[in-house]
Amino acid sequence: MNSLNRKFCIAPMMERTDRHFRFLARLISRRAVLYTEMVPVPALMHGHPQRVLAFNPEERPLALQLGGSAVDDLAASARMAQEAGYDEVNLNVGCPSARVRDGRFGACLMADPALVAECVEAMANACDLPVTVKTRIGIDERDSYDELCEFVGYVAAAGCPTFIVHARKAWLRGLNPKQNRTVPPLRYDTVYRLKRDFPALAIIINGGITTMEAASGHLDHVDGVMLGREAYGNPWLLAEVDRRFYGASDPPPSRSEVLARYLPYVEQQLANGVSQNTVTRHLMGLYQGLPGAKQWRRMLGGQARADGDGVDLIRRAARLVEDHVGGGELCMSTI
C-alpha cells in the first residue's frame, strides 16, 4: 500500500504543477514522485471531477493533493483519486493562505488534530491508495515540538504512515503565503528529530532545498526530500534525480531531446484548444544558467501570449540559445 519510493518529490504548487509541467518534468526524470496542484474538494463535489482529475498516464508516479476538511467529501474524493488512476492521495495541512484558511483547510487544521485524524481515517477506509499528509512544523504560537509530536502521533494512528513536513511553521495572520515560504526560519533539526522519534513513519522533508547536494544530505536523516520552486524555476535540476537518488544507470536525456519530445505534446494540446502560453510557460527555466537563457525567456514570455506561432516559436527560441552556446548538446536537428 505504501510502495511509492519518495526519495525525491516535486511539491504541489498552485499555478505551477499542472499537467503540462508534470509532463515536462517526467521527460527529464522518470522516477521523481510528482504532485498535482492542490485540488479543493468542492471542485470535485460540485464541479467536473473528470476534467479536474484528468492527467497523462506518462506523469505517474503521481499523487493527488486535496484541500478540505469535510470528512465525507474527502472520503469520496479519495475514491475518485483511485478510480482516476493516481498513486497516492495527499491531504494539505500546510497552506497558510487566507482563502484556504477561510475554507477551513490547509495549515489551520494543525490546530485540530482530531479532525485531521478523522479525515485521514475516512480517506484510508475509502480507497486502497496510500494516504499522506503535507504539514508544517507548527502554526502561530503553537509551534512546540511536543505539539508537533501530538499532531503526528494522532494522525499516524488514524492511518497515515507518511508525512511531508515543511520545516517552517506558518503564521496564519500577518504573513502572506509568499512570506510564509521565506520569513519563518527553517528548522531542519525538528524534522530530523521527528524521524528519530517516529522511526516507523516515512518522513519527507520540504522547505528551502535548492541543490541536489543539499537534498542528498537530508537523506542521512529522513526518508525523502521534496523540492518546490527551485525545481520549477530550474527544471533541469531533475536530470540528476534518477541516477543520484534511484541508482539509474542510463544517462539523462539532453535538453534538446526533452524539447523534441515536448513539442508533439504542445502540438496536441494546441489542437485540443489549449492556449499556447499555457503549455509553453513551463519551459521558461529549461535553459536556466546557460548563455542565451534570457533571450529564450523573453521570446517565450512575450510572443507565446499571441498564440500565433505554435511550436515554431519554441524552435526559434531554442536556436537563440544554440547561437550562444555553439550547438553541442543543443543540436537543433533533433527539434
- The string over 238-256, giving b where at least 16 C-beta atoms fall within 10 Å of a residue's C-beta and e elsewhere, is bbbbbebbeeeeeebbebb
Burial 310-333 (b: 16+ CB within 10 A, else e): bbebbeebbbbbbebeeeeebeee
For 247, list phi and psi in degrees, rounded to 5: 70, 20
Distance separating alpha carbons of residues 49 and 84, to the nearest angstrom: 10
Burial class (CB in 10 A: 0-12, 13-18, 19+), 287: buried
Cα–Cα distance list, 291 to 174, 319, 328 (Å): 40, 12, 13
Grid cell at residue 132: 499522506
Calpha distance 294→320 (Å, rounded): 10
Helix (H, G, I), strand (E, B) or coil at 264: helix
Cα-Cα-Cα-Cα dihedral of 47, 39, 157, 202, to 10°?
150
Report which DSSP code applies to 137.
S
Would you name the residues annotated as active-site residues?
Answer: 95
Yes or no: say if 235 and 286 are a contact pair by the CB < 8 Å rule. yes
Q: Report cis status (omega within 30 of 0) of the bond before 264.
A: no
As a whole number of angstroms, the distance between CA 40 and CA 296 comes to 34
